[in-house]
Structure 1
C-alpha cells in the first residue's frame, strides 16, 4: 500500500517549492522597494545640495560683477580725475617719511602715475564701448581678479574680449562666470565645473537602477552608488562654504573701495581747488596745501592697491594676501579719516 503516499509527497514537494518561490518573490519585492526608496531619497538629497550650491554660485557671481563694475567706474571716474589734476603739478617732492613708510610703492611717483594712468585709459576705452560689452564674464573677471591682471589681457582700444595665461585657465572663474570668462566665450566643458580642486558631479543617473533593481545585487549596487553620491554632496557643501567665504571677502573689499573712493573724491576736489587758486608749483604751496596733495596721492596709492588685489588666486582659492590687505587698508583709511 505504498502507492497512495506518492500524491502526498508530490503535493508536499509542490507546497514547499511554492513557499520557497513565494519567499524569493517577497525578498525580490522588498529589495526592489528598498532600492527605489534609497535611490529616490539620495536623488532628493543631491538635488537639495545642488540647488544650495547653484544659489550660492549665482550670488557669488553677481557680487563679482557688481564689484567689477565698481572698479571700472572708479578707474573711469575718481582715479581718472585724480590723474588729470595730479599731472598738472610740478616740483613734487614728498618728505613725510612717517606716512610714506606705511604706504606701498610711493617712493617712485612717476612710475606709479604711469601705471595708474595706463589703467584709467583702458577703463575709459571700455566704458566708451559700454559696460554691456563686458557684462557677465568680463565684469566677473574684473571683480574676481586684480585690475592689473584683467587689463593685461585686454586688447588696447577694445572691450575685454579674451583673457590669457592664468586667468584663461582659471576653472573657478570660468565656473563662477557661468561658463564664460568674457565676451569671447571661454567656456567650461560639458557639465563639469571645478572649484579649488573640488569636482562637482554631473546630473545623477538613477532611473535605470530604479527600474532594474529587483535583486539583492541591485540593492547592493544602489547602496554603493549612494555612498559615492554622498561624497559628491560633501563636495557641493564644501564648495558652498568656499563660496560663502569668497562672498564675505568680496563684500568687504567693495566696502573698502567705496570708502576709499569717497575720501579720494574729497581730496581730489581739494587738490583741484588748490591748483585753481595757487597754480601748479607744489614747492611753492603752503604746508597745509602740500599735505592735502599728499593725502590725495596717498589715497590713490591705497585705491590702486585695492583695485589690483585679487579675490581669488590662480588655483581658485581665496587669495592668501586678502586678509592682510583688508586689515592694513582698514587701518590706513581710519588714520586718514
Structure 2
C-alpha cells in the first residue's frame, strides 16, 4: 500500500538535503585538496629558488676566496718580500699631499699583509690536503681576521674549518654542517630570512575525521601561511642575489687591481737590483716606482681587509662604501 504523501514529501526533502550535504562535502574536500596542493607547490618552488640563489652565492664567495688566496700567494707575497728589504724608507718627505692621500701602506699595514700572506699559505695547504672545508667561503665573505675567528694566524686549517662551520651564515652557504658542529642549513635560513626551523607546512594535508568544511577552512588558513612563507623565502633569495652581486664586484675590482700591481712589483724588484735597498739613495724615478707599488698594494689590501658580510649574514656598509670609492678611482685612473 502506498504511503501517504504526508510521509513521502518530508522523507524526500530529507533525502535531498542529505544528498546536498554529501555533494558539498565532496566539493569541500576537493577544494581543500586543491588549495593544499597549490600552497605546497608554491612553497616548494620558493624553496627551490632560494636553494638556487644560495648555490650561486656560495660559488661566488668561494671563487672570491680563491682569488684572494691567489693574489696573496703571488703579487702580494712578492711585493711584501721586496718592500721589506728597503732601508731608510721615508715616503712622507718624498711625497706631496695628493700622493699621501692615496698612500695606504705603513708599517702596520705591512705587518697585516704579511699575516694575511701566512694565512693564505695555511689555507692553500689545507686545500691541497683536502681539509679546507668552509675556509674559502669564509675568506670570501670575511677578511682574514674574521675568517679565523679569534684564532691567531697559523692556526691549523682544521680548526679554521671548524670555526667556519659554527657560523650559521657560512653553514647556509656551504661552509659547514650540523655534522661539523655548525648551525646547519636551518640556522643559515633563520639568519638570512628569519624563517622558522623545519618544514613550514606540516599541517597542510587533510585530517581524517574532521568535517569537510573544517578541512576547507584549515586549508585556506594554511594557504595564507604559505603566502607568508613564500615571501620570507623570496626575501632570503633576494638577499642571496644581492650578496652574490656584491661578491662579483669585489672579485672584478680585485682582479683589475692585481693586474695593475703585478707589473709594478716587477719594476720594484728591478729597482732593488739596480739601485740597492737604501731608499735615501734612490733616483726620483725609483722612488716613484716604490710609491706607485705601495699605493696599488694598499688598494688591494683594502679589498682583502673589507668583509662583505656581517656575522649575521647582512651586507656590510663598509663593502658598499669601498665599491663606490674604488669604482670612482678606477674610472678616474
Q: Within the alignment, does 1:263 sit opposite 2:260 as a pair? A: yes
Question: Partners of 2:122 and 2:197 in 1: how far apart?
Answer: 41
Distance between the aligned counterparts of 2:133 and 2:161, measured in 1?
14
Q: CA deviation at 1:193?
A: 2.2
CA distance 1:244–1:185, change in 2 (3 Å): same
Question: How many residues of Structure 1 are paired with residues of Structure 2 in the alignment?
Answer: 328
Question: More deviation in 295-304 or 225-234?
Answer: 295-304
Partners of 1:179 and 1:157 lie apart in 2 by: 18
Is the CA contact 2:62–2:136 (under 8 Å) kept in the aligned structure 1? yes
Which of 18, 21, 24 in structure 2 is aligned with 1:21?
Answer: 18
Larger helix proportion, structure 1 or 2? Answer: 2
Q: Which runs of 5+ in 1 are unaligned?
A: none
Which residue in the other structure is 1:232 paired with? 229
Residue of structure 2 equivalent to 1:198: 194
The change in CA–CA distance for 1:239 and 1:230 in structure 2 (over 3 A counts) is same
1:144-163 matches, cutoff 5 A = 144-154=141-151, 156=154, 158-159=156-157, 161-162=159-160
Match status 1:186 vs 2:207: no
Instruction: Tell me the residue number matched to 2:90.
Output: 93
Identify if the C-alpha distance between structure 1 residues 152 and 303 changes in structure 2 by more than 3 Å, giving closer, same or farther.
Answer: farther
Contact 2:134 2:161 (8 Å CA) reproduced: no
Offset of residue 192 of structure 1: 7.2
TM-score, normalisation: structure 1: 0.88
State the SS of the aligned residue for 1:235. helix
Offset at 1:130?
3.0
In 2, distance between residues paired with 1:172 and 1:94?
A: 42
Measured on the aligned residues, the alpha-carbon RMSD in Å equals: 2.7
**Secondary structure in 2 aligned to 1:310?**
coil
Decide which of 219, 243, 254 is 1:246's aligned counterpart. Answer: 243
Cα distance in 2, alignment partners of residues 327 and 175 from structure 1: 28
CA distance in 2, matches of 1:300, 1:318: 25
Contact 2:36 2:219 (8 Å CA) reproduced = yes
| Inter-CA distance 142–133: structure 2 relative to 1 (3 Å threshold) | farther
Deviates more, 1:123-132 or 1:142-151: 123-132
Which 5+ residue runs of structure 2 have no aligned equivalent?
none
- What SS does the corresponding residue of 1:77 show, helix, strand or coil? helix
Q: TM-score, normalised by structure 2?
A: 0.89
Aligned counterparts, 1:1-337, within 5 A? 7-95=4-92, 96=95, 97-104=97-104, 106=105, 109-131=106-128, 133=130, 135-154=132-151, 156=154, 158-159=156-157, 161-162=159-160, 170-177=167-174, 179-180=176-177, 184-188=180-184, 193-199=189-195, 202-203=198-199, 204-205=201-202, 208-209=205-206, 215-335=212-332, 337=333
TM superposition shift of 1:256: 0.4
8 Å Cα contact 1:126-1:157 kept in structure 2:
no
Deviation at 1:200, TM superposition (A): 5.4
